């Protein structure tokens, strides 16, 4: 059996698995991790359905995310471990008009225009003859020398690596500096945190995600799940609800 689940923010992907496992009383696995601060679509395999998960890992995915250019963290999102740097946003006169600036290292950096941001995003779009390399978040489940990167990062000795990533389409949903909201369609293994951080670095700003939602995997849309079926579980003293829908493989 395959299940489409709605992961809420504030719990891990394994927490979702634990809640569903208690509900179905069978072995459960998932086809792709979502960070604790992220929400959205997860596909789970139950019982014999766990054998189908390998074929789902490589599917393209879509996300909606909000990037905060005034924030820089060690995790590249709002759930920082040890390092969080918040930059001041101020208003100043330039060419006779009031404009927004970010104050960083005693310098005033002007808010980038939509055109600047669009050109950078355009440069990331997938092309058959061009490999796009982006920096991996050190706090990630990716393996380095056989060990998870986040384990090395906790000890302070993780090296920043680059990884090929695929961004097929993007849409700017909203922009009020320092916040940028995007919709992205990406290939498997693409880190949205990497995109936010890279954009900020190119613009001389911060760049951390404060919101992330997976809206589709393959053909399956988050909006198709509904609220008819659900499971409840206690995670760290708080009752959490996981909505789910049973799937046929052809739906994904």
Q: Which two tokens stand for residue 170?
A: 């993007």
- The question of whether 35 is a catalytic residue gets the answer yes
CA pair distance 6, 224, nearest whole angstrom: 10
C-beta neighbour count of 102 within 10 angstroms: 23
User: Active site residue: 35, 68, 74, 77, which one?
Assistant: 35
What size, in residues, is the chain?
A: 252
DSSP-assigned states of every residue in the chain = -EEEEEEPTTS-HHHHHHHHHHHHTS-EEESS---TT-EEEEEEEEGGGGGGGGGGTT--EEEEEEEETTEEETTSBSS-SS-EEEPEEEEEEETTEEEEEEEETTEEEEPPPHHHHHHHHHHHB-BTTB--EEEPPSSSS-EETTEEHHHHHHTT-PPP-EEE--EEEEEEEEEETTEEEEEEEE-TT--HHHHHHHHHHHHTS--EEEEEEEEEETTEEGGGS-SSEEEEEEETTEEEEEEEEEE-GGG-
Residue numbers annotated as active site: 35
């Amino acid at each position: 059996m395959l299940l489409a689940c709605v992961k809420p923010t504030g719990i891990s992907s394994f927490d979702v698995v634990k809640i569903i496992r208690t509900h179905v009383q069978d072995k459960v696995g998932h086809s792709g991790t979502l960070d604790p601060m992220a929400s959205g679509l997860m596909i789970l395999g139950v019982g014999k359905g766990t054998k189908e998960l390998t074929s789902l890992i490589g599917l393209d995915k879509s996300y909606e995310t909000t990037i905060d250019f005034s924030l820089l963290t060690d995790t590249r999102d709002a759930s920082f471990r040890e390092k969080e740097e918040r930059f001041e946003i101020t208003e100043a006169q330039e060419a006779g008009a009031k404009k927004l600036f970010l104050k960083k290292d005693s310098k005033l950096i002007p808010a980038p225009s939509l055109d600047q941001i669009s050109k950078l995003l355009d440069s990331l779009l997938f092309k058959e003859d061009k490999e796009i390399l982006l920096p991996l978040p050190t706090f990630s489940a990716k393996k380095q020398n056989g060990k998870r990167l986040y384990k090395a990062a906790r000890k302070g000795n993780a090296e920043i690596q680059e990884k090929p990533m695929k961004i097929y389409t993007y849409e700017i949903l909203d922009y009020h500096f320092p916040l940028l909201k995007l919709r992205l369609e990406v290939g498997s293994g693409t880190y949205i945190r990497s995109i936010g951080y890279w954009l900020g670095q190119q613009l001389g700003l911060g760049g951390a995600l404060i919101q992330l939602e997976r809206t589709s995997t393959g053909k399956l849309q988050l909006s198709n799940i509904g609220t008819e079926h659900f499971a409840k579980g206690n995670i760290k003293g708080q009752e959490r609800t996981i909505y789910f829908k049973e799937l046929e493989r052809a739906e994904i």
